[in-house]
């Protein structure tokens, strides 16, 4: 990729996260809103962080070996794998920046039997990872896809590490029986780190990446996919390809689709990128592609309602507790997301507070961002913190004393929590973040096999069409375990690149 042909956009990590956040009215952005936003790409957002570079639209060719629709983590992983296989891929992204929902990931990537786990003396196995995920998905996961995810997770960690994207800080996530979620070395949010690293490699390998490139249709002839129709600028073009990989993400920001499949979630705030509008699902359905689990929409328990900003599971994974307005714990904080969300919703006030101390804030670097955004209440003592959030001070102090004793005893008598009990909460100042559940992940999507080929309702494949990431369904069943979204996009994104390349060579 020649520098002269690049458009440059400087975007800081915080700005990236905010740029794709949904509004405070509790409704998600619809497709037209996303398209309107995507067309206003010339705005530069500067905050002194990493630089994103994109290929100039004038360099778009009529033919590529592989056309990849969507520049999130799965799309970039597919492109890099295709390039490794000797292909000439292109990435088309409808939004004005690359990254998609991957940018908003603040937790990490689940993987088992990794070299980093072994180095740190963490005992884990692929079978244990499989069992935890199957349990979290209530036994409804597509087990073939799940086995592929688990069995290839460690090699994905190695693949990333080989590109200078090192995830060696390992912690707990909800639903995991051991430390399994892999994060950047300093414990910071995985999303911006991952996107920065993938983009760096995309540039180094001179893979063209076009933004504001809105794919309208996947083209086919004689039963085989032949490329796409894309609107870029004011012009609609036909781009031919020997294979097409769809990595457009889910539909968490399409309120019509949310209400269609889950009317009970009408009005919920969403944490997803505003580009997550289900475009890929709809285009694949128009070709006869099957969908699965479309009503399985994950609600994340810890979302700031005013902004739709997700508070990472890492905060609980490092030892934070949840309390109600009365200052009492009410549930196991590290249970699966659906169960924790239900427990919060069942409270009289339908919200809760995350409570943690300064030592935890030092371990979970995401807290710095939450402070910058003004959602963290801080006080020197627990009693002072209680006063600031209109909570009974004696009750909150007693709750913390009980919790700290539970950590010391390594036994949570009240709610049976068994993980993330390595640190007590005794180091002032103390912090609180008010949260409630919000839409976070659409677990349903198009049906694929372990080769990431898109399937029709009769089980046959659509020749030349592949899909990976949140656009697909079946892997997570009825509940996604925290840390499995990044695993999904990396493992299946790589596989899509490999398999599409094999097909394109025929």
In terms of DSSP bridges, do strands 430-442 and 445-446 run parallel, antiparallel, or are they unpaired?
A: unpaired
* Catalytic member of 337, 363, 480, 494: 337
Q: Maximum distance among all alpha carbons in the chain?
A: 73
Q: Which residues contact 90 (CB under 8 A, 6 or more apart)?
A: 60, 61, 64, 66, 67, 68, 79, 207, 208, 209, 210, 239, 241
DSSP state letter for 28:
P
Q: Give backbone dihedrals phi and psi of 208, rounded to 5 degrees, phi first.
A: -70, 135
Looking at 152-212, list the stretches that DSSP marks H as alpha helix, in order from N- to C-terminal side: 153-162, 190-204
CB 289 within 8 A of CB 454: yes
- CB-side neighbour CA atoms (13 Å) of 254: 20
Neighbouring C-beta atoms of residue 427, cutoff 10 Å: 14
Residue 3, exposed/middle/buried by CB under 10 A (0-12, 13-18, 19+)?
exposed
Cα–Cα dist 346/407, whole Å = 26
- For the chain, how are helix, strand and coil distributed in percent, rounded to 5? 35, 25, 40
Cα–Cα dist 88/69, whole Å = 14
Is position 337 annotated as part of the catalytic site? yes
| Block residue for tokens 């968490």 | 252
Q: Which residues contact 210 (CB under 8 A, 6 or more apart)?
A: 54, 55, 57, 60, 90, 91, 92, 93, 232
484-504 and 73-84 helices, crossing angle to 10°: 40
| Per-residue tokens: 263 | 């009317």
Residue 49, exposed/middle/buried by CB under 10 A (0-12, 13-18, 19+)?
middle
Supply angle C-alpha 425, 170, 19, rounded to 5: 85
CB 391 within 8 A of CB 214: no
Beta strands in 11-153 (DSSP E): 51-55, 63-69, 89-92, 109-110
Residue 44, exposed/middle/buried by CB under 10 A (0-12, 13-18, 19+)?
exposed
Q: Which residues contact 36 (CB under 8 A, 6 or more apart)?
A: none
CB 365 within 8 A of CB 184: no
Q: Catalytic amino acids?
A: 337
């Amino acid at each position: 990729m020649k520098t002269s042909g690049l458009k440059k956009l400087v975007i800081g990590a915080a700005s990236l996260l905010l740029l794709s956040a949904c509004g405070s009215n509790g409704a998600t952005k619809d497709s037209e809103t996303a398209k309107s936003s995507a067309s206003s790409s010339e705005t530069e957002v500067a905050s002194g962080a990493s630089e994103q570079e994109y290929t100039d639209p004038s360099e778009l060719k009529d033919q590529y070996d592989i056309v990849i629709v969507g520049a999130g983590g799965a799309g970039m992983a597919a492109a890099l794998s295709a390039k490794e296989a000797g292909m000439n891929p292109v990435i088309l992204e409808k939004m004005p920046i690359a990254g998609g929902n991957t940018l908003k990931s603040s937790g990490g990537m689940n993987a088992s039997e990794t070299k980093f786990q072994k180095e740190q003396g963490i005992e884990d196995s692929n079978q244990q990872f499989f069992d935890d995920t199957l349990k979290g998905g209530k036994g409804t996961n597509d087990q073939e896809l799940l086995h592929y995810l688990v069995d290839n997770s460690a090699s994905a960690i190695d693949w990333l590490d080989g590109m200078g994207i090192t995830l060696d800080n390992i912690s707990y996530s909800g639903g995991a029986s051991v430390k399994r979620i892999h994060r950047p070395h300093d414990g910071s949010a995985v999303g911006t780190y991952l996107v920065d690293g993938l983009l760096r490699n995309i540039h180094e390998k001179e893979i063209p990446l076009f933004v504001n490139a809105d794919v309208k249709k996947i083209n086919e002839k004689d039963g085989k996919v032949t490329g796409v129709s894309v609107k870029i600028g004011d012009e609609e073009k036909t781009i031919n390809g020997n294979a097409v990989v769809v990595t457009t993400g889910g539909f968490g920001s399409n309120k019509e689709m949310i209400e269609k499949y889950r009317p009970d979630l009408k009005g919920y705030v969403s944490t997803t990128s505003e580009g997550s509008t289900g475009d890929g699902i709809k285009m694949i359905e128009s070709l006869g592609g099957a969908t699965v689990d479309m009503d399985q929409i994950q609600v994340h328990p810890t979302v700031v309602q005013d902004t739709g900003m997700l508070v990472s599971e890492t905060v609980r994974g490092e030892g934070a507790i949840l309390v109600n307005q009365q200052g009492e714990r009410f549930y196991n904080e590290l249970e699966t997301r659906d169960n924790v969300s239900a427990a919060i919703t069942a409270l009289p006030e339908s919200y809760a507070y995350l409570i943690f101390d300064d030592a935890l804030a030092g371990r979970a670097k995401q807290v710095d961002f939450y402070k910058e955004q003004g959602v963290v209440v801080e006080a020197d003592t627990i009693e002072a913190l209680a006063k600031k959030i209109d909570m009974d001070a004696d009750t909150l102090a007693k709750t913390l004393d009980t919790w700290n004793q539970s950590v010391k005893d390594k036994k949570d008598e009240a709610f049976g929590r068994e993980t993330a009990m390595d640190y007590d909460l005794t180091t002032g100042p103390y912090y609180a973040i008010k949260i409630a559940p919000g839409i976070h992940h659409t677990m349903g999507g198009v049906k694929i096999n372990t080769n990431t080929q898109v399937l029709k309702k009769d089980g046959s494949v659509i020749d030349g069409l592949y899909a990976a990431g949140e656009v697909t369904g079946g892997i997570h069943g009825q509940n996604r375990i925290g840390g499995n979204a990044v695993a999904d996009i990396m493992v299946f994104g790589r596989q899509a690149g490999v398999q599409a390349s094999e097909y394109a060579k025929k």
